[in-house]
Structure formats: C-alpha cells, structure tokens
C-alpha cells in the first residue's frame, strides 16, 4: 500500500470529478465521515473502507450545527496537517475537507429530523445534536455518493440514527459499524481525550472500569438493570470531578431502557470529567 499523502479536496465540484474517475476504474467508494483530530479509532474505519471498497474517502469537517451553544465547537481541535500524515499511513485516497460555505450555502434551510432513536440519551442531553449530525451526514452522502459509509461503535446512538435515516430515506448505500478502539488501559480513543490533564486522564478510566463491572455482574447472573446501573454510578461517583450525564442499560435496537436483562443489552454512559464530556458503551450478552 502506498504511503502517499492523500489528495486534499475542499470543493464539491472537484470532489465529484475525482470520484467519477475512481468509479470509471471500477472501484467502489467507502466514506468515513469525521471531524478530524484523528486517532487510531478513525484509522480503523479508514482501513475497513479501503479493504472493502478499494477507494477510501475521509471527510474532515467540524460541523457547527451539531454543537450546542455552550459546547466546544470553537475549541474543538483542528489538526489538518497531522491528520493528512496519519491518513497517508492507512490507505486513504481522498480527504474531503470542505469550507463552511461549501456545506451550508447562504439560505440553507433544510434539516433532517430522525425520530425515536434520536430522542433519549445523547438526544436528551444535547438538544439539536442529532438534527445537525443527520443533516450533515446526509449532505456528505450526497456529495460523495459512497457505496458504503463507516461509523464507530463508540458513538453507538449516532450509528443507530444514521442507520434509521438511511433506511427511512431509501439511501443507496451500506452502513458499517466498526468496533471501538481503546487505549491499552481501556479508555476509548476520542479526539476529546486531548483536553484531559494527565490526572483527569487517569480518572477517566473509571468509565471503562464501570462498563467492565457491568459485564462481570451480568456474567455472574445479575439481571436487574437498576442494580447494575447503581453499581456503575457508585464507582463513577468515587472519581473526583466526575459528573454523570447518564448511565443506562438499553435495548440496542430501540435505545429504550430495559428493566431486566433478557437478551443483548447495551450499557451506555456519558460522564464529564474535569469538564470534558466523554461517552462510552459496551454490549452485555447474558448467557443462558
């Protein structure tokens, strides 16, 4: 595989021209939508796109409409040079990093609202977030027209929202969801981890530890969701500066809370550590 820096494109017209040539070569196109500040989690999606489709397109765009007024849009890390170097090592063919004007032209007034799966959890804590996500992802789908698009399990609800939108709007592409990539100590990789001080980075491990505790409790036969959530809450509350947005055990398809664990269940949480909001999740699979 070549280690060439991928072609950087900022205009939709140029993108369409480049991708028409790729299609003429008989290649399929895999899209990895990102907000940049790339890490190994993003790169795993790029490798999957390249392997399955032959041509991997990575979009890098910090989408203003998915951030709330008091969120981190202005301070979100923007590291395009470093991102391009990382992408050179994993087979990305095209990086599409459009300007705001290219994405939201003057007079933009159309929004995508996804129903029930977008409402709980992140939807409740971040009003308008999924409206911004669904809208920008649909725009990228239309700009790139990929055969498949790749998302991370780490943002489980986001993947569910995109899957719902894709089915409901009859979009002609496959949605792939790839496993969460973690640091060796278990912390889920995230562009926001770089906000954490070294001490907070250590405290943030309690998220993964509490998810592991949920797995262990289920393995030991615990089926009462409220007891598992209570144990997770207790653990997280011991970390200094930890503020819990939610901890929940939900049905992985509907994202509605479950009372008893009778089948595959998703443990999900969102916690602020030292003002950095982190999310993570883990599948619980009861045996027998």
Binding site for ligand AMP (CB under 6 A): 34-35, 41-42, 44-45, 151-152, 154-155, 178, 180-181, 188-191
Considering the complex, state which of residue 56 and residue 178 has its C-beta at the smaller distance from ligand AMP: 178
- Positive or negative: CA dihedral 161, 194, 44, 88: positive
* Closest separation in Å from C-beta 277 to ligand AMP: 12
Considering the complex, state which of residue 148 and residue 222 has its C-beta at the smaller distance from ligand AMP: 148
Contact criterion met (CB below 8 Å) for 79 and 37:
yes
* Closest separation in Å from C-beta 39 to ligand AMP: 7
Considering the complex, state which of residue 189 and residue 196 has its C-beta at the smaller distance from ligand AMP: 189
Considering the complex, state which of residue 34 and residue 276 has its C-beta at the smaller distance from ligand AMP: 34
Considering the complex, state which of residue 43 and residue 261 has its C-beta at the smaller distance from ligand AMP: 43
* Closest separation in Å from C-beta 35 to ligand AMP: 4
Phi/psi of residue 242, each to 5°?
A: -90, 125
Half-sphere exposure of 89 (CA within 13 A, CB side): 10
* Closest separation in Å from C-beta 216 to ligand AMP: 22
* Closest separation in Å from C-beta 72 to ligand AMP: 12
Other beta carbons less than 10 A from residue 216's beta carbon: 12
Using Cβ positions, the residue closest to ligand AMP within the complex turns out to be 152
* Closest separation in Å from C-beta 17 to ligand AMP: 26
Give the full edge-to-edge strand order of the sheet including 148-152: 7-9, 94-96, 54-60, 28-34, 148-152, 174-178
Residue that the structure tokens 């916690």 belong to: 271
Q: What angle do CA 103, 10, 148 make, to 5 degrees?
A: 75
Residues 6+ apart with CB under 8 A from 3: 88, 89
Task: Kindly report the three-state secondary structure assignment for every residue of 122-151.
Answer: HHHHCCCHHHHHHHHHHHHHHHHCCCEEEE
CB-count exposure of residue 148 (10 Å: 0-12, 13-18, 19+): middle
Considering the complex, state which of residue 149 and residue 250 has its C-beta at the smaller distance from ligand AMP: 149
Task: Kindly report the three-state secondary structure assignment for every residue of 191-242.
Answer: HHHHHCCHHHHHHCHHHHHHHHHHHHHHHCCCCEHHHHHHHHHHHHHCCCCE
Our answer to whether residue 108 is catalytic in this structure is: no
Residues recognised as catalytic? 42
């Amino acid at each position: 595989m070549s280690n060439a820096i991928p072609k950087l494109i900022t205009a939709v017209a140029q993108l369409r021209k480049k991708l028409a040539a790729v299609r003429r070569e008989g290649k399929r196109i895999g899209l990895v939508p990102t907000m940049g500040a790339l890490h190994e989690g993003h790169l795993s999606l790029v490798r999957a796109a390249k392997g399955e489709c032959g041509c991997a397109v990575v979009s890098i765009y910090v989408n203003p409409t998915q951030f709330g007024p008091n969120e981190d849009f202005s301070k979100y890390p923007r590291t395009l040079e470093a991102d391009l170097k990382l992408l050179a090592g994993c087979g990305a063919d095209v990086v599409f990093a459009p300007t705001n004007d290219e994405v939201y032209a003057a007079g933009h007034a159309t929004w995508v609202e996804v129903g029930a799966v977008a409402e709980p959890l992140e939807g409740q804590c971040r009003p308008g977030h999924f409206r911004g996500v669904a809208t920008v992802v649909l725009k990228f789908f239309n700009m790139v027209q990929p055969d498949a698009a790749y998302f991370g399990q780490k943002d489980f609800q986001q993947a569910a929202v995109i899957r719902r939108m894709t089915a409901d709007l009859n979009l002609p592409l496959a949605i792939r969801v790839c496993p969460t990539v973690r640091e060796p100590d278990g912390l889920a990789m995230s562009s926001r981890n770089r906000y954490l001080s070294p001490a907070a980075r250590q405290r943030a491990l309690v998220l993964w530890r509490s998810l592991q505790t949920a797995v262990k409790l289920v393995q030991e036969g615990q089926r009462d969701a409220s007891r598992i959530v209570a144990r997770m809450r207790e653990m997280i509350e011991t970390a200094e500066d930890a503020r819990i947005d939610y901890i929940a055990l939900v049905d992985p398809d509907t994202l509605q809370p479950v009372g008893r664990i009778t089948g595959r269940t998703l443990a999900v949480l969102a916690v602020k550590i030292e003002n950095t909001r982190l999310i993570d999740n883990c599948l619980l699979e009861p045996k027998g």
